Amino acid sequence: MNRTTRAAVAAVAGLSVLATSLAAAAQPRDLIGARAGQGENSLRSRGYQLDHTDGGVQYWWHPGNRECINLFVDDGRYDTIDRRPSAECNAGKGGKKDNTGAIVAGALAIGILAAAAASSKKKHEDDRYRDDDDRRRDPPYSPARGVDCYPSQRACYERGRGYSPSWTSREFGYRY
């Protein structure tokens, strides 16, 4: 083969590998229902990095295509996976998060809720305290430094690392 033919073959091979990896990275929805621990390995192999966690929600950042996704873990499995604006991932802002929009939106939401509550004539005592009762019955706890467990999800997370199969197994009796 001459030099041009070899270059063309190498370019086609490179593009096919790139297309395959982009297709894999662009399809995280195939992880819905997967165990969170297995899903984390799959996301890492696709180029995603765990950005941060917020309760039972994990935020993942893909530096190659600058994409932020969040995953909700329920009962130790991925339940919901959504693409999010890159600003929701700390890595998308070079490690610094601009919360101005969130603060304005939060203040606006509080104002709307306060107005709605003030204009309400009928009070629903049962509805008002239902969420608080659930939190009192099943509050999150920390069995060790850097580990948070959520009984309502039956899952534990290590801060900065995400879902922890070993702590989940230890705290809730799962066997892997």
Chain position carrying tokens 């467990």: 149
- Check residue 88 and give its pLDDT: 86
Comparing CA positions, the residue from 144, 142, 149 lying closest to residue 165 is 149
- Check residue 114 and give its pLDDT: 75
Full-prediction pTM beyond 0.75? Answer: no
Element (H, E) at 98: none
Instruction: Give me the helices (H) in 26-124, please.
Output: 36-45, 100-119
The region, left, alpha or beta by phi > 0 then psi within -120 to 50, assigned to residue 121 is alpha
- Check residue 142 and give its pLDDT: 92
Asked if 112 and 97 count as a contact pair (C-beta separation under 8 A), the reply is no
- Check residue 91 and give its pLDDT: 65
Can you tell me whether residue 117 is helix, strand or coil?
A: helix
Q: How far apart are CA 108 and CA 104, in angstroms?
A: 6
- Check residue 20 and give its pLDDT: 44
Q: Is the dihedral of CA 141, 160, 39, 168 positive or negative?
A: negative
The region, left, alpha or beta by phi > 0 then psi within -120 to 50, assigned to residue 75 is left
DSSP designation for 161: T
Written as tens digits, the pLDDT of the chain (176 aa) is: 666 666 555 554 554 444 444 444 455 778 888 887 788 888 899 999 999 888 888 898 998 888 899 888 888 888 888 888 888 887 655 544 445 666 777 777 887 887 776 666 555 544 544 555 555 677 889 999 999 999 888 899 999 999 999 899 999 887 76
- Check residue 79 and give its pLDDT: 83
